[in-house]
Structure 1
Amino acid sequence: MYEDSDERKLRKKGQTEMKHSILSLYLNPWIKKISMVDSNLLFVDGFAGPGRYPDGSQGSPLIAMDMADKMLSTANGIDERLDSFKCIFIEKDPENFEKLKQSVQEKEQVVDDRIDPICRPGKFEDWAVDFTEQYEYGVPPPSLVFIDPFGYGNIPFSLITELFQLRDQSLELLITFMAGKMAQWMEDSGHQKAISEALGSTEWQQRVPPDLGKDERAERFSSIYQEQLKDKADAKFTMPFEMVEESKRQTCYYLIHVTNHWQGLKVMKETMFNAGADDEFAYLGPDHTGYEDDQLSFAEFGETNDFEERVEAFARSLYSTYKGDEIVFQDLLEETLDQNVFKLMHYRSAFQILEAEGKLEVEHRPHKPNGNKSRGYGRDDILKFVNMSLSNFT
């Protein structure tokens, strides 16, 4: 096992580049949207590292500072709305921490003065305990917390729960969940307690049999973790993205986005979709292994060669799920948006397919804020999924 400051451990890999790309792409709309809610925002990097990789490329702390600076200098309205963008960068390895301080100080000289970075030595879990105690009787600023450890130990699920529940909305988590390591070490008695603490449950011992393949075990661990986030931490939406180890083509970890607002989920989905798949990551929805419910799911982001067929299959799945029902488009989104890879435009394409087949009727509600007058699909419009088997007898 390499030390945290060992260059072999710090070497930047393709999956890390993709993870940083996702972070950068998401910070842009997150700052834009959340600055409408509050003028003071917080970004936390719980495992900040040295700030730069051995090849000189920027790590997540500098990426976050650059994106905030870009938004403050170019985005319309944000310059007037945002008073401060506070950053807390946490690093436990002493050698990495000294490098982090230097790289952040250098970056601080060239970015907007409202970007306020604080480098904190020590463990993420110690900061999280202090933070939850600080706001036990108050509300923290809107926050995006990036939790990106090398392993899964020392971050008990109970702490994740306390942290996420500090705000009803506008506190989001982006978690590197090391499901591949769990799958690798689950039969080792020395690791089982740490796995149970990270998941907040021992149920995995019944639900993840060792005779499964490693990727399937990893997927089940991810499923259990997301169930826990929803059941115990009261998270409304979770989105998992599988990150693949390039050399072995095996699941390395999942990048899991956690939010209570559908707009946050919508933006993250668009971020992932626009980043492109290239087989580096995939969305794995709730009807993969580990989930018992028959729900909607597709496994790849991006407009692949068979994407039209996938939208048609999505339309059939929607119809199968809601046949005979009426539902407001917004309610349908909140029920299904974290169960597939599709953006709102793809939902509307699926509706067009169903309408052409006589399987969908739309009640427009122009008097509503998001209702359409005579055509299209507004989020306040009512979708009526026609039961074709019954309509034949009327």
Structure 2
Amino acid sequence: MADDTLWDMKPHTAMKHAILRRYLQGFYPKLSRWHDRIMVVDGFAGPGVYKGGEDGSPIVALDALEEHSDFANMGDCSFTFLFVEERKDRVDVLQGILDERGVVANVEPRVCHGTFESHVLGALAELRRQPGMPAFFMLDPFGVKGLPLRVLREIAEFPKAELLVSYMYQSTNRFRATPELQPHLDDFFGMREWRQAEQYKGDERKDFLRDLYERRLGSIGMEYVRMFEMRDELNQPEYFLAFATHSPHGLRVMEDSMWKADQSRGAEFSDFAAPSPLQGVLFPPEPDYANLETLLVGHFRGRRNVPIHEVNDFVLKRTDFRETHGRTALKKAAEESRVTVDRPLDKAPNYWGEGTTVTFLPPE
């Protein structure tokens, strides 16, 4: 085994896997009720294990299914896993782990030796034969090579396809002026606009590139895109998890997963600030409801009788907050007479369903 076949797991990787696991635990049972086949593709699978024995993303994805409390009720659905890995030494380790796990009747894991670009054609062919099949693509490259936007555009053509992409910002920032890397960045963004990042510095450059990639994922036809920042042990931005989906339900489930990772903003995790497992938390952080109220008032200022579903849509699609956070922010604002909430006469004071409207009072 080569010295770099396995490597150490960092805290942000463990958190990424926690986000992935929580999402898939909602993804599998929901979609297996309505579909007889689901595909999961890990395009940069690695060896399936870290130096310390921790599970890699292929095993996380399999365990989220096979250890699910409702797995026994998913027998009518078959699950195909495509684990793509370019390095043969890592392929061998992963295949060995899968062989030891044994066979599960409705679960088919396949290890594919080669690049994601070479094997995605087969996955796309299967989706064309079953265009309504749900497919979840985990794409976690070491840099930006081998992940062109044109391939993601093909995936996005399928209505039940979803993407979880690691956009390696640190690599982009460090090597952006390297002539050998620039064509790969052109492919990654699907355009040359990323080069305008040179006019910015620090966080402004980071925000420019993050927002650009978010827009590019939207441009391929993904209606909902959510970004989550991962920082290293020096608290420097390392990469962004970019989730893209056609489904508002999928977005809700991913937002729930991300908010469990960051209970104050739902937007980032840092190895630098990661607490020790032995350290207790006396006062769990809570969302910045004042900021959310500012966003809501800024968008709906002066509007009367706004249907609650319109408020929920804004919170879900235009902010990093969850819809439940929106209701909490509105409750606080109503208590202090900054908004009024009207509910159907036969509903309880804590009802926030259909028929509820909100009036955003103008400032005095």
TM-score, length basis structure 1: 0.80
Tell me, what secondary structure is at the counterpart of 1:243?
A: strand
Query: 1:243·1:282 contact (CA, 8 Å) conserved in 2?
Result: yes
The alpha-carbon deviation at position 279 of structure 1 amounts to 10
Q: 2:235 aligns with which of 242, 249, 252?
A: 249
2:31 is the alignment partner of 1:34 = yes
Tell me, what secondary structure is at the counterpart of 1:51?
A: coil
Query: 2:226·2:243 contact (CA, 8 Å) conserved in 1?
Result: yes
What's 1:345 paired with? 324
Residues 340 and 194 (structure 1), Cα distance of their counterparts in 2 relative to 1, 3 Å cut = same
The amino acid across from 2:63 in the alignment is D
Separation of aligned partners in 2, 1:83 and 1:203: 43
2:82 is the alignment partner of 1:85 = no
Separation of aligned partners in 1, 2:254 and 2:2: 31
The alpha-carbon deviation at position 304 of structure 1 amounts to 7.3
The alpha-carbon deviation at position 253 of structure 1 amounts to 0.4
- Structure 1 stretch displaced more, 147-156 or 183-192: 183-192
What's 1:229 paired with? 217
Tell me, what secondary structure is at the counterpart of 1:258?
A: strand
2:352 is the alignment partner of 1:378 = yes
Q: 2:198 aligns with which of 209, 213, 222?
A: 209
Query: 1:361·1:386 contact (CA, 8 Å) conserved in 2?
Result: yes
What's 2:48 paired with? 51
Residues 211 and 64 (structure 1), Cα distance of their counterparts in 2 relative to 1, 3 Å cut = closer
Residue by residue, what CA displacement relative to the aligned partner does 1:7-58 show, whole Å, maximum 9, x if unpaired? 3873211111111111111111111222233132221111111111222221
Separation of aligned partners in 2, 1:125 and 1:303: 47
- Structure 1 stretch displaced more, 58-67 or 317-326: 317-326
- Structure 1 stretch displaced more, 344-353 or 321-330: 321-330
The percent identity for this pair of structures is 24
Q: 1:316 aligns with which of 291, 294, 301?
A: 294
Query: 1:235·1:260 contact (CA, 8 Å) conserved in 2?
Result: yes
Residues 56 and 384 (structure 1), Cα distance of their counterparts in 2 relative to 1, 3 Å cut = closer
What's 1:159 paired with? 151
Q: CA RMSD in A?
A: 2.9
The amino acid across from 2:332 in the alignment is I
2:19 is the alignment partner of 1:22 = yes
The alpha-carbon deviation at position 184 of structure 1 amounts to 1.1
Tell me, what secondary structure is at the counterpart of 1:7?
A: coil
The alpha-carbon deviation at position 365 of structure 1 amounts to 5.5
The amino acid across from 2:174 in the alignment is Q
Query: 1:40·1:84 contact (CA, 8 Å) conserved in 2?
Result: yes
Query: 1:155·1:198 contact (CA, 8 Å) conserved in 2?
Result: yes
Separation of aligned partners in 2, 1:191 and 1:34: 39
Q: 1:182 aligns with which of 172, 197, 207?
A: 172
Residues 115 and 242 (structure 1), Cα distance of their counterparts in 2 relative to 1, 3 Å cut = same
Gaps of 5+ in 1: 284-301, 367-371
Whose relative contact order is higher, 1 or 2, with alpha carbons under 8 Å and at least 6 apart? 2
What's 1:125 paired with? 117
2:332 is the alignment partner of 1:335 = no
Q: 1:198 aligns with which of 181, 185, 188?
A: 188
What's 2:92 paired with? 98
What's 2:341 paired with? 362
Count of paired positions: 352
The alpha-carbon deviation at position 377 of structure 1 amounts to 4.5
Q: 1:267 aligns with which of 231, 253, 256?
A: 253
Separation of aligned partners in 1, 2:315 and 2:186: 29
Q: 1:218 aligns with which of 201, 206, 225?
A: 206
The alpha-carbon deviation at position 166 of structure 1 amounts to 1.5
Residues 177 and 244 (structure 1), Cα distance of their counterparts in 2 relative to 1, 3 Å cut = same
Separation of aligned partners in 1, 2:242 and 2:72: 27
- Structure 1 stretch displaced more, 269-278 or 42-51: 269-278
Residues 6 and 240 (structure 1), Cα distance of their counterparts in 2 relative to 1, 3 Å cut = farther
